[in-house]
Amino acid sequence: MKSNFSLLSKLLILQYLSVLCLSQDFDFFYFVQQWPGAYCDTKQSCCYPKTGKPTADFGIHGLWPNYKDGSWPSNCDPDSVFDKSQVSDLMSNMEKNWPSLSCPSSNGMRFWSHEWEKHGTCAESELDQHEYFETALKLKQKVNLLKALKDAGIEPDDEFYSLESISDAIKEGTGFTPGIECNKDSAHNSQLYQVYMCVDTSGSVLIECPILPKSKCGSQIQFPKF
């Protein structure tokens, strides 16, 4: 009898922990966009999606729940898998604004599935699957990074620009300080790779970042062509 009670207690604890994980809170989102020219200009190279070469614009990488201490939840609900039928009305928009550049060439399903299962499931207390992808797409329209940079005379022309001028241009265009992530090409040039903006837990309001990701950029960074 004692062993049965012990087993029941363990099952109840596991159930409680799984519910706790599913409903865990987070403090804000990172909305992350990546420059395809920098993604492709590395040792790993890239493969265009089956729909063809994406437009020369920043593409969505993800909408990531985060904590103010710099940590983040991940893979919060193993029972919630990506279901393309739930986002069928968003598909053409996702193909355009959230393309996968990984190899081998794909239709984006693997990329979107990864983003939902790793990050989206940790925001289910705020956004269901359709709302999660729709919210990211709306943010893409609101946060027009390429326009903000071009308005400041910063073009994807393989030239080098100061990290400060890139950050200032994005802040001028969006009203908020971005996080900038760089990668290095085969010649070890520091390149503009990803831009992080912070959003409240509803996914609709831009905010100042409680914490910015650590930058590995040089003082001068290249904005590569695509």
Give CA 166 to chain center in angstroms.
19
Instruction: CATH number of the domain at 157, please.
Output: 3.90.730.10
- Candidate list 119, 124, 134, 181, residue with the active-site label: 119
**Cα 38–44–47 angle (5° rounding)?**
75
| pLDDT value, residue 16 | 44
In a domain, 4, yes or no: no
| pLDDT value, residue 18 | 45
Give CA 140 to chain center in angstroms.
11
**Cα 128–134–139 angle (5° rounding)?**
125
Confidence band for 6, pLDDT divided at 50, 70 and 90: low
In a domain, 121, yes or no: yes
| Chain segment 154-190, per-residue pLDDT in tens | 999 999 999 999 999 999 999 999 999 999 998 999 9
What is the SS3 assignment for 160? strand
In a domain, 96, yes or no: yes
Half-sphere exposure of 71 (CA within 13 A, CB side): 4
Fill in the amino acid letter for 192. L
Confidence band for 191, pLDDT divided at 50, 70 and 90: very high
Identify whether 115 is a catalytic site residue: yes
Length of the chain: 226
Q: What is the mean pLDDT of residues 116-129?
A: 98
Rounded Cα distance, 40 and 26, in Å = 32
Does residue 216 or residue 196 have the better pLDDT?
Answer: 196
Rounded Cα distance, 48 and 39, in Å = 11
Is residue 8 predicted with pLDDT exceeding 90?
no
As given in the structure block, the two tokens for residue 141 are 């329209």
In a domain, 139, yes or no: yes
Half-sphere exposure of 15 (CA within 13 A, CB side): 6
Is residue 46 predicted with pLDDT exceeding 50?
yes
| pLDDT value, residue 224 | 97
| Chain segment 66-111, per-residue pLDDT in tens | 999 999 999 999 999 999 999 999 999 999 999 999 999 999 999 9
Identify whether 164 is a catalytic site residue: no
55: domain range? 28-223
Q: What is the mean pLDDT of residues 195-204?
A: 97
- Candidate list 95, 115, 124, 181, residue with the active-site label: 115
As given in the structure block, the two tokens for residue 103 are 């190899």
What's the number of domains the chain is made of? Answer: 1
**Helices and strands (H, E) in the chain, number of each type:** 7, 7
Looking at 1-10, 116-125, 197-206, 216-225, which range is the least confident one?
A: 1-10
| pLDDT value, residue 221 | 97
Nearest to 59 by CA among 97, 85, 17: 97
For 160, residues 6+ apart whose C-beta sits below 8 A from its C-beta are 189, 220, 221, 222, 223
In a domain, 6, yes or no: no
Count the neighbouring beta carbons within 10 Å of the beta carbon of residue 67: 15
Confidence band for 45, pLDDT divided at 50, 70 and 90: confident
- Candidate list 61, 95, 124, 134, residue with the active-site label: 61
In a domain, 174, yes or no: yes
